[in-house]
Amino acid sequence: MGHYSAITGWGMNVPEKILTNADLERIVDTSDEWITSRTGIKERHVISPGESTSTLSIAAARQALERAGLEGKDLDLIIVATVSPDYRFPSTANLVQHALGAQCGAFDMQAACSGFLYAVSVAHQFIVNGTAKHALVIGVEVLSQVIDYKDRATCVLFGDGAGAVILSASDEPGGLLGFTIGSDGARPELLWIPTGGSKEPATEETIRERRNFVQMQGAEVFKFATRIMGTAMEEALANAGMTAADMDLFIPHQANLRIIEAASKRLNLPSEKVFVNIEKYGNTSAAAIPIALCEAIDQGRVYPGAHLGMVAFGGGLTWAAAVVKWTAPIRTLERLQESLPEQAVEPAQPVHVG
């Protein structure tokens, strides 16, 4: 068991509260017309009191476990990709591990918006080398708490949410077939939170100057994104022995509709092969791809045998891409609940990690 790592469970959670473009018109000097035409975004979800990165993560993870027919104790590894954790430490993954009743190693990692695909590539190593049988990978962000709602250039773009997958060891050819990860740290100031770390701790002054919030040089990031989305996707496809024409569905990072369109054009993909849901969520950073994957599955656009291409870019700068051959039966939670006894799954074999 274990030459391949397949996605066997998936789940998502977004806060109930919605912030529309009309709401933002009342907060900053912007317009629905500007936001829609420049970004494709119409609304985004934001947390309310009582919600946080860990609560969204736990809800998404529970759905993923249910679809995989697993319980928390069956997990051998938990990775949470986020730049907006509950605390500096302990990690959000620690909190998720406890809430799920898991008894395994758990850690956060961050590669900004590329974090989810980075984390998938790490979990994949644990699975294929036999150290883990089931790994939970979560991409989650609560950017509403680190966004400057006085800065119209950034506050219209981002939203909160979580997406999760279970990667499981499998003998069936498929799952993660190829990936690439990349980094260029030459210009961190293109997209960052300048203060609050060891280099420039938060002070009254940094807070007054609003340097504790996300800052971005949008046009520079835009140029980088339109180039890297296509090249990173092509690299991951080549690693899988494939080309763009072999993809059945392209699930790109949801940062800006114009960036997605430019990447799709470069890859020569017709629009029916491209998944877009940015209008509802904005850019949820590390959560964007797993949320998009869940919605693509719900819409019947993912099926056993389908080849999915996923690519992300973000602060760092970072980028990552992955090619997945889908192998799992498509299970809706409703169907699962109706046929619970039949879905009972053999207890997982104990796996010794380390």
Binding residues (CB under 6 A) for ligand COA: these are: 30, 34-35, 38-39, 113, 152-153, 156, 191, 216, 218-219, 221-222, 225, 255-256, 283, 314
**45 part of the active site:** no
Q: How far is the CB of 23 from ligand COA (least distance, A)?
A: 13
Q: How far is the CB of 128 from ligand COA (least distance, A)?
A: 29
Tokens at 182, concatenated: 């990349």
**215-216 and 191-192 beta bridge pairing:** antiparallel
Considering beta carbons, is residue 112 or 167 the nearer one to ligand COA? 112
| Separation of alpha carbons 122 and 165, rounded Å | 13
Considering beta carbons, is residue 127 or 260 the nearer one to ligand COA? 260
Considering beta carbons, is residue 170 or 215 the nearer one to ligand COA? 215
CB neighbour class for 266 (10 Å; exposed up to 12, middle 13-18, buried from 19): middle
Strands across the sheet containing 134-142: 4-13, 160-170, 134-142, 77-81, 105-109
Q: How far is the CB of 110 from ligand COA (least distance, A)?
A: 13
Which residue has the closest beta carbon to ligand COA?
Answer: 218
Q: How far is the CB of 178 from ligand COA (least distance, A)?
A: 22
Considering beta carbons, is residue 55 or 283 the nearer one to ligand COA? 283
**Within a 10 A sphere around the Cβ of 98, how many other Cβ atoms?**
14
Q: How far is the CB of 14 from ligand COA (least distance, A)?
A: 18
Three-class DSSP category at 353: coil
| Amino acid at residue number 340 | L
Tokens at 220, concatenated: 């520079």
Name the active-site residue from 13, 45, 113, 294: 113
Considering beta carbons, is residue 114 or 131 the nearer one to ligand COA? 114
Considering beta carbons, is residue 26 or 352 the nearer one to ligand COA? 26
| Separation of alpha carbons 309 and 311, rounded Å | 7
Residue with tokens 């998009």: 292
CB 113 within 8 A of CB 286: yes
Cis peptide before 173 (omega within 30 of 0): no
**113 part of the active site:** yes
Name the active-site residue from 21, 94, 212, 283: 283
Name the active-site residue from 45, 124, 253, 307: 253
Helix axes 53-68, 92-100, angle to 10 degrees: 50
**134 part of the active site:** no
| Separation of alpha carbons 181 and 288, rounded Å | 17
| Amino acid at residue number 155 | C
**160-170 and 4-13 beta bridge pairing:** antiparallel
Q: How far is the CB of 176 from ligand COA (least distance, A)?
A: 22
**Within a 10 A sphere around the Cβ of 275, how many other Cβ atoms?**
21
| Residues identified as active-site | 113, 253, 283
